[in-house]
Amino acid sequence: MSIHEVFMPALSSTMTEGKIVSWVKSPGDKVEKGETVVVVESDKADMDVETFYEGFLAHIIVEAGETAPVGSAIAFIAETEAEIETAKSLANSGGAAATPTSSPEPVAATASAATPALASQNGSNHKEGRLVVSPRARKLAKELKVDLTTLQGSGPHGRIVAEDVEALSNKGKQPATAPVAPPAPVPTSAPVAPPAPRTPAPTPAVAAVPGQTVPLTTFQNAVVRNMVATISVPVFRVGYTITTDGLDKLYKQIKSKGVTMTALLAKAVAVTLQKHPLLNASYSDQGIVYHSDINISVAVAMDDGGLITPVLQNADAVDIYSLSRTWKSLVERARAKQLQPQEYNSGTFTLSNLGMFGVDKFDAILPPGQGSILAIGASRPQVVATPDGLFGVRQQMQVNITSDHRIIYGAHAAAFLQDLAKLIETNAHSLTL
């Protein structure tokens, strides 16, 4: 006989505690090895957590909506139905899960990847052919009595999402026991709320009430820890004005092919970093770490609080069309809080763009573990003096770079900005080659 404890897993290197978003299984339910039992909110994303044991979910210690430190027990799994009551007794008495024949063993849990391809890249135990379903879709299917095995997912790489369940239910292929209103359309500029049990909404999950103190979300707490960690880093800032007429013209020509301005800026920065490897480096106690890849992080704000930085990996080597498709996928999954750790913690240089809000210029805070971050303002028409002594109107944007002064000096940052401006102003078309 054996009873196993389910522990709160560490889903990222910075995670110290996790919040239970929802339990996919209920007490008494049968669980299979590799099956998702709970959805956990880490400091960056919502993750499906799987068990490596077969048995029955005997008792839930940490309910949905509650938090627990990494490594603490959140539930018990019993190998047989006869042991369920024993597990409940252990939980009520506060004892460890143990039997005369075996000592307590943790239930190894891992974040399930959104796709088989991502799973192999990020070390998940997800296997080819396994049904991949978002937590919200799984809950909705249970409510509407929809058989998930009959669905073909429309999400990234075949993931079944809530819309797939609703579409099948609306066609009358499966009986629905209760009417469920479809989610309201969400503008592309607004983050999508995370999976069940929360309902998608364009507003924060917790409304601010005058005179009330609202606790920080898991995302916001992660930002606090990162920002405090940067206080001890000596930084300096350099500003530069870049004319964007050529870049704007290129963008208008290829926008219809799915290219985004974010991808163009990331590509321009990445190509320039090839000439300035020090700007792509970071400080360590052992010396300067020169990274082999140029991975561009781009800051994305979340409506329910916090900030996440999806990463365009090898942005200098990937063509602009593939880069734009990757960025679209990253943003969609970031706003659904479904990114894998490698997709948000592998950046070597960061972009922070507030130009879409009409901001002229601002200073960005250096992320931990990186050497530089570039703040990008809005591109605006400006009256400028031309080389022939006349006046003209040019589209210009202001950028400010914040760098770690322990390894990067003013001349290094200035030279990088100079080359970036030259690329954007005189050779923007090369970004499509």
> Element (H or E) spanning 423, and its range?
helix 410-426
Is there a contact between 316 and 294 (Cβ–Cβ < 8 Å)? yes
CB of 70 closer than 8 Å to CB of 109: no
Residue among 11, 5, 111, 1 at smallest CA distance from 345: 11
Euclidean distance between CA atoms 78 and 267, whole angstroms: 52
Catalytic residue among 4, 157, 291, 405: 405
Helix then strand then coil, % of the chain, to nearest 5: 30, 25, 45
* DSSP states along 84-113: HHHHHHHHHHT----BTTB---EE---BPP
The span from the CA of 317 to the CA of 319, in Å, is 7
d(CA 336, CA 112): 15
How many helices (DSSP H) and strands (DSSP E) are in the chain? 9, 20
Give the residue among 25, 427, 97, 99 at the shortest CA–CA distance from 242.
427
CB 93 within 8 A of CB 106: no
Answer yes or no: 59 catalytic.
Answer: no
Q: Which candidate, 412, 404, 413, places its Cα nearest to that of 234?
A: 404
Distance separating alpha carbons of residues 233 and 371, to the nearest angstrom:
10
- Alpha-carbon torsion angle 296, 302, 307, 312, nearest 10: -10
CB atoms < 10 A from the CB of 229, how many? 14
Tell me how far apart the alpha carbons of residues 313 and 355 are, in angstroms, rounded to a whole number.
Answer: 23
Which two three-digit tokens encode residue 58?
Answer: 């005997």
SS3 at position 422: helix
CB contact at 8 A, 367 and 299: no
Residues whose CB falls within 8 Å of the CB of residue 425, separated by 6 or more in sequence, listed in order: 242, 243, 244, 245, 246
17 strand-pairing partners = 69
Enumerate the active-site residues: 405
